[in-house]
Amino acid sequence: MAIPGTEGHPLRVAVVGSGPGGFYAAEALLESGLQVEIDLIERLPVPFGLVRFGVAPDHAKLKSVTAVFAQIAEDPRLRFFGNVELGRDVSAQQLGALYHAVIVATGAAGDRRLGIAGEHLAGVHAAGDFVGWYNGRPECADLEFDLQQEVAVVIGQGNVAIDVCRILASPVDALRRTDIAAHALDALAQSRIREIHLVGRRGPVQAKFTPKELRELGTLPGWQPRVDPAALVLNDASQAELALPGFVHAPRNLDILRGFAQTPADDGRRSLHLHFHRAPVALSGQSRVEQIELEAQALSGEPGTQSATPTGERLSLPAGLVLRSVGYRGTPLPGLPFDLVRGALPHRDGRVIDTGGKVLRGWYATGWIKRGPTGVIGTNRADSVDTVASLLADLAALDAPKAGRAGLVAQLASDRRRVVDFAGWRAIAQAEAERGRAGGKPAEKFVRVEDMLDAAALAGAPQSIEPACSH
């Protein structure tokens, strides 16, 4: 039996998910020197995942990586299958039978909960849903966030938490020049939020935000970041952490926070309070959230492994809107094992394993569904290269003949599935750009799947899934 990837015997790989992890995995396969046929399967009609739906609209430069992804997609050895979902349109069993290997790169769109009383109250939301709402993610387009409240509390110490604070506080006129979703812009234009609290259970050294994002909080017109100087006094372990490799951003973050703390309070500006060493313990209210109770935390342990323990000291704050940003988690995929504790696929060196630790031959994972929600967009490149290296090391065991793309096309055609290829995506992107120009925006995103499909069809982009539609 010929080894896949050799002349006349292409290595047929399905990549499920078209975010950074999926595209970097495809890139690594294309650069492997082997004969490959790659099908990039995406449940939405549009690609780019986290870059499209996770990056804040006022951080347009971070989205420029999509130009690299688009170049990858133009390779004739790769084909984009948009509007095709694992478990809905094709099962894991079917994919495994059609391809030598399947790389799962579906990301981590679920959120971690606080697990405290009152979390069920109206006005308490996952920050990821808020991000999806202002970025036009279809699942979030109809969500409602009550911005008529005066006090918002954001729980978390990462860049997503800072993004949420910044969007809540940004002048609407500045947001009008971005690709923020129209429904979010309209709601933000009517916002009555006058005070924001950013809450974290650990200290400033352990916070995960980066200096650039933190510094931006000090440039918001009409707002002033406020920090209690006492929260910036470090214990010995935190002081030692400033020199550790895993805390590379901490020294600059600390300098920025000290600058915030030393700036005289200006009552003419709205307050954005940054709280450290505070953990939420309860939410309360009548028909909706009205108050949050925080408990002071003390850090203890060795440098790099400190933990926060409650001290018993409590503080109550008014809270009309609460957004939790305490981590994302993956969601189970039909037909595949799942680690409910990690919120990710169980794996060994990128090879998916079952609950007994046995490797599922031909199944691999990359990105957040593999390692959990850590790192930035570029982190996924090395991660995907590692996963593809495991796949290539297994080639001799993946020698069974596979139908690949022809089999997938036949499967989808039998169900009359409307599939969007990359030409279809370009038509959608062009339509969104034209919609944006009318309002002085770089783009006005479609937030309904049907509208995306119609834009592709009206622009004359191929909607057939016959082989002739491939690049």
More confident residue, 192 or 3: 192
Candidates 450, 453, 451, 434; CA nearest to 442 is 434
Give pLDDT tens digits for 106-150: 998 888 899 999 999 999 999 999 999 999 999 999 999 999 999
Burial (CB count <10 Å: 0-12, 13-18, 19+), residue 262 = exposed
Q: What is the mean pLDDT of the chain?
A: 94
Alpha-carbon distance 307 to 329, whole Å?
A: 21
pLDDT of residue 372: 85
- Extract the tokens encoding 171: 């002048």
pLDDT of residue 110: 84
Candidates 249, 309, 247; CA nearest to 277 is 309
Which percentage of the chain shows pLDDT scores above 70? 97
pLDDT over threshold 80, residue 167: yes
- pLDDT-derived band at 7 (thresholds 50, 70, 90) equals confident
Alpha-carbon distance 160 to 373, whole Å?
A: 11
Put the strands of the sheet holding 151-155 in their side by side order. Answer: 124-126, 321-324, 151-155, 195-199, 270-275, 223-227
- pLDDT-derived band at 415 (thresholds 50, 70, 90) equals confident
Candidates 173, 108, 133; CA nearest to 372 is 108
Give pLDDT tens digits for 45-86: 999 999 999 999 999 999 999 999 999 999 999 999 999 999
Alpha-carbon distance 365 to 21, whole Å?
A: 9
Candidates 386, 381, 374; CA nearest to 350 is 386
> From residue 168, how far is each of 200, 260, 279 by CA, in Å?
18, 19, 22
- Extract the tokens encoding 407: 């089999």
Q: Per the confidence metrics, is the pTM higher than 0.85? A: yes
- Extract the tokens encoding 461: 């982009």
Candidates 373, 351, 456; CA nearest to 20 is 373
- pLDDT-derived band at 466 (thresholds 50, 70, 90) equals very low
Give pLDDT tens digits for 435-445: 999 889 999 99
pLDDT of residue 417: 85
pLDDT of residue 460: 60
* Average pLDDT for 3-15: 92
- pLDDT-derived band at 471 (thresholds 50, 70, 90) equals very low
> Are the C-beta atoms of residues 36 and 430 closer than 8 Å to each other?
no
* Average pLDDT for 436-456: 95
Give pLDDT tens digits for 171-215: 999 999 999 999 999 999 999 999 999 999 999 999 999 999 999
Alpha-carbon distance 22 to 33, whole Å?
A: 19
- The residue assigned the tokens 């599939």 is 419
Amino acid at the residue 104: V
pLDDT of residue 468: 33
Give pLDDT tens digits for 358-413: 999 999 999 999 998 887 888 899 999 999 999 999 999 998 899 999 999 999 99
pLDDT over threshold 80, residue 354: yes
pLDDT over threshold 80, residue 1: no
pLDDT of residue 163: 97
* Average pLDDT for 422-440: 94
pLDDT of residue 463: 53
pLDDT of residue 467: 39
- Extract the tokens encoding 260: 């915030």
Query: What are the strands, taking DSSP E only, across 319-374?
Result: 321-324, 328-329, 347-348, 351-353, 359-365
pLDDT of residue 12: 97
pLDDT over threshold 50, residue 469: no
pLDDT of residue 347: 97
Which percentage of the chain shows pLDDT scores above 90? 87
pLDDT of residue 157: 94
pLDDT of residue 441: 95
What DSSP state is assigned to residue 321? E
